[in-house]
Structure 1
Amino acid sequence: MKKILLMLLLGSFPFSSLFMQAGHDTESAETIIAKVAEAMGGYDKIRQIETLSYQSIYPDHGTTPSIVEIGRPNKSRNPRYNLVFDGTQACFLEGYKDNKEPQMIDENQLNDFVIEIALHFPAFFDYPTKLIDSVMINFKDTYHLQTSLPRNLTIDYYIDKETFLLIKASTQFKMMDRDVVWDRVYNEYKNINGIMFPHKFTYPGKDGDVLYAELVNVEINSLGKDTFVIPDNIK
């Protein structure tokens, strides 16, 4: 995991090599990110996060929490299906549906994994980010940041200028030759294990409607490194 926050604190990393500034705002990308870290719970706490296990309820999927496990900066696992993304490849380790053999995911579907991680935990803590401009989002004045992700993807984040909390993320990417546009709005921040997380966030429902999911809990650093490993004999 890139320890960007620690390097910023120690002043041992040249900002210009990582963050690029745009527009004429008095803030810069690095100072905005620093203030977001403080608003979420503090530099030290953000820096120490290595894994997260998000438990969320999606209204049109029942009342049982869905779990997304993340290993910073670019790994994930869906424990329900034992679906692992190791940052390069993805696999159903125990098969899927009637096929109980391990199934590798096609390369043209991997963008979705990268974006899912960035929608759950702000990627600007781990990847190069630039300040684009200031815009109004839902009657709130925000800083517009753009983060460069793996696989030549980008995601746009909108930071409330008053609270310095993330209120929206937006991205466009290709998956299986389809153009996908994804917007996520974040609301009702609450303290979970010492970190401020959005208690509610939007997602596209089964019928195409925009619905709100509810974040029930986040476990921090409860997962081992082997959680996100695809065995060599499967690849």
Structure 2
Amino acid sequence: MFLNRISLMKQDVEDFGEYPFTVPSINSLEQLDLSNAVTFFVGENGSGKSTLLEGIADKCGFNTAGGGRNNMYRVHASESVLGDYLRLSWMPKVTNGFFMRAESFYHFATHLEDVDEDGFQSYGGRSLHKQSHGESFLSLFLNRFNGRALYLLDEPEAALSPQRQLTFLRILKDMTAEEDCQFIIATHSPILLGYPDAKILSFDGDFIEEIDYEETDHYRITKYFLDHREKFLKEILED
């Protein structure tokens, strides 16, 4: 892996009573070792997974509003505090990559409208604003992403139908096996989490810990719902 370790420099933190160090998973972080081409961050909203992903993006020099090193635009509240306290260990170091934030993808697409000079050739030959949400996501993955790079994705399933999520799994396979890419993905999708040979890191407890696919709430709740739909709905909808 290019990025093989993430460490929190606790000696530099002046106040653990300030955000984001009030988040248990961040507060307890010492180091995470990455040994897989695909690593998933899972956890409830507010558990710290997106905060850490954004901090990594900041430390890599990617635009924390979404984009790579050369995408210079700003979105309110996109600055990372955590990045100043992280140490990233590389072998070897790569500078190519991209940080995709589903929640600010519209702003990234608008930024491209202002700077594009080649007919959006890196995005399938069409403005992302002239594609559906799902099409624009896949155009980014298929055309903008290329080899020997680190890709940080925050909830890429947001605009992808179940069928397109399966397409994305194939993209992951091709890019890791043939293009020598590394992915760190924060997700709620039980489909994406099923990707074979991925490491899954849960942020739901007081510590970040590796768990199996079948241990994730995403798998367990989805499976229970599909196996016992009528019973499940009765339990939550009836007084």
TM-score by length of 2: 0.26
Considering Cα pairs closer than 8 Å and 6+ residues apart, tell me whether 1 or 2 has the greater RCO.
2
More helix per residue: 2
TM-score by length of 1: 0.26
More strand per residue: 1
